[in-house]
A and B are shown apart, each in its own frame.
Chain A
């Protein structure tokens, strides 16, 4: 790759602007020497990232419909939306994987302890109110 071809396709908003996350691309200059050029991003990479997220959000929308239909509890919806799996959630909260799977069903979710609820909300980095609704 040549220095002039280093892409600068910035697309994602950074929560902390001071850090300024950047790629650093190694590219050849006109004399055939390697130079380091900071790069803001590259369109194909950004599209791959956006595609993965849109795939997940579509999956989450499907689950949302089933939550409304009474098949799953809101935990299931948020778990899919936030790229979690029962295994990872179990590791974060200290609950068993079986317990997490159980809480994904409305009839067990109805009797959930406040303590477990706050643990799960904490692991997902959202508030308890968000966790119990599907908006």
Chain B
């Protein structure tokens, strides 16, 4: 049995699943629009929260928040499940699938059989969609793959109950009804954008939001002293992986959010947002420049090799620029 579900490739797994699920119910949104409406862009660097024994650097909000926020804004009813028992989790999945409902799952990538060996770390916030079952195999629509694929029941059970930092615990979610669906309005966009701005500017701890980037810079200056030369490079590698690898559409969602601002500027007829989109693109280019220079720590090429202080300076510039962009964005709404 396979549900007639249009599989579309996306940059980020959660945005992709949300967009494809909404598309199944006839609600057409683009991926940047899902990110913007879900207030997905963020920054945090938390030395006390560890992934692979290193500080977690994140460029987006908590996993699952985009789905919750987008569906809440559009007035769509959803259902979440969490399980202790793997067999019950699989039985529930079969039950919902049998009703012809595509189901989103949160999985860990460590045991995911179609991922390249090098990508398999204990990262437990990957999302995919299950759209059918044939015998012992599930038909999976993973938004970061160009095509649909199949996964054995045994493997799916294992990845749903992956262990490590923030285990997925068999989480599954699906759309229950679109009865109270409200089409996209300007108000929704303003509200979501204000929420994004308050996340980027308004949290009174120095490790969150745009000022968190300066905090990361401050920590980075100490890395060599704290962890030694190789340990510091390892920490830097982790930041680059979070910035580029986990399907961010380039430069930790900055380009994708710029695409959202451009789309919204047309929708709202607000040309100044297109200007802000271009500014955010420049910030994204600065992030790419940072990654490029940081990569020289791992592979010694010809040319100048910068020190940690130098690349930390780059981050401070980025922090100031992002603060400026989001401040302007907030003012453009608040002051009309």
What residues make up the interface of A, taking CB atoms closer than 8 Å to B? 1, 12-16, 18-28, 32-34, 36, 38-39, 42-45, 47-53, 55, 83, 85, 88, 91-92, 125
Asked if B44 is an interface residue, CB under 8 A from chain A, the answer is no
Cβ-defined contact, A26 with B241, below 8 A: no
Q: Take A26-B256, A36-B11, A45-B291 as given contacts and tell me if A55 and B234 are in contact as well, using a CB distance cutoff of 8 Å.
A: yes
Q: Given the complex, which residues of B lie within 8 Å of A52, measured CB to CB?
A: 234, 237-238, 241
- B117 an interface residue at 8 Å Cβ cutoff? yes
Q: Which of A13, A21, A25, A50 contacts B255 (CB 8 A)?
A: A25
Closest to A11 in B: B118
Interface centre among A18, A19, A48 (most CB of B within 10 A): A48
Please report the C-alpha to C-alpha distance between residue A88 and residue B263 in the assembled complex, in whole angstroms. 43
Q: Which 6 A-B pairs have the closest CB atoms?
A: A44-B295, A91-B163, A51-B298, A24-B11, A16-B114, A34-B259
Additional pairs, 4, CB under 8 Å, beyond known A14-B115, A26-B259, A43-B295: A1-B281, A1-B288, A47-B299, A51-B298
Interchain nearest-CB distance for B270 vs A (Å): 16
Q: In the assembled complex, which residues on chain A have CB atoms less than 8 Å from the CB atom of B285? A: 1
Complex interface: chain A residues within 8 A of B111 (CB): 125
The CB with the most chain B CB atoms within 10 A, among A12, A18, A21, is that of: A21
Q: How many angstroms between the C-alpha atoms of A88 and B115 in the bound complex?
A: 20
Q: Is B332 close to A, CB under 8 A?
A: no
Contact status B230-A1, CB under 8 Å: no
Contacts of B241 in A (CB 8 A): 45, 48-49, 52
**Which residues, 87 to 101 on B, are CB-close (under 8 Å) to A?**
none
Given contacts A1-B285, A13-B116, A21-B115, contact A88 B32 (CB under 8 A): no
B127 within 8 A of A: no
B249 to A26, Cβ gap below 8 A? yes
Residues of B within 8 A of A1 (CB): 250-251, 255, 281, 284-285, 288
Find chain B residues with CB under 8 A from A42 CB.
Answer: 244, 291
Cα distance A18–B149 in the bound complex, in angstroms? 7
List the A residue with the shortest CB-CB distance to B54. A52
Q: Are A24 and B10 in contact (CB under 8 A)?
A: yes
Q: Give the shortest distance, in Å, between B245 (CB) and chain A (any CB).
A: 6
- Inter-chain CA distance A27–B116, complex, in Å, is 26
Contact B147 A20, beta carbon cutoff 8 Å: yes
| B12: nearest chain-A partner, CB-CB | A24
Mostly, the A contact residues are mixed
Q: Is the CB of B146 within 8 A of A38?
A: yes
Nearest Cβ in chain B — how far from A107, in angstroms?
27
CA distance A88 to B161 in the complex (A): 12
CB pair A38–B255 under 8 Å, yes or no, is no
Identify which of residues 53-85 in chain B touch chain A, using a CB-to-CB cut-off of 8 Å.
Answer: 53
- What per-residue 1/0 map shows which CB atoms of B259-278 lie under 8 Å from chain A? 10011000000000000011
A45 in contact with B244 (CB, 8 Å): yes
Q: Mark B111-141, 1 if CB is under 8 A from A, else 0.
A: 1011111110110000000000000000000
Asked whether A15 lies within 8 Å of B114 as measured between CB atoms, the reply is yes
The CA-CA distance from A33 to B277 in the complex, in Å, is 10
Q: Which of B10, B31, B113, B147 is within 8 Å of A15, CB to CB?
A: B113
* Contact status A12-B118, CB under 8 Å: yes
Assess whether B142 is interfacial by the CB under 8 Å rule: yes
Asked if A44 and B292 sit within 8 Å, CB to CB, the answer is yes
| Residue contact A20 to B291, C-beta cutoff 8 Å | no
Instruction: Across the interface, name the chain B residue whose C-beta is closest to A14.
Output: B116
CB distance from B144 to the nearest CB of A (A): 6
In the complex, which residues of chain B have a beta carbon less than 8 angstroms from the beta carbon of A14?
A: 114-116
Q: How far is the CA of A52 from the CA of B161 in the complex (A)?
A: 25
How far is A92 from B10 in the complex, measured between Cα atoms in Å?
Answer: 31
B202 contacts A by Cβ under 8 Å: no
Pairs A–B under 8 Å by Cβ, sample size 28: A1-B281, A1-B284, A12-B116, A15-B115, A15-B117, A16-B149, A19-B149, A20-B146, A22-B9, A24-B247, A25-B249, A26-B249, A34-B32, A34-B263, A34-B277, A36-B11, A42-B291, A44-B240, A45-B240, A45-B244, A45-B245, A48-B244, A48-B294, A49-B119, A51-B298, A51-B299, A53-B118, A92-B163
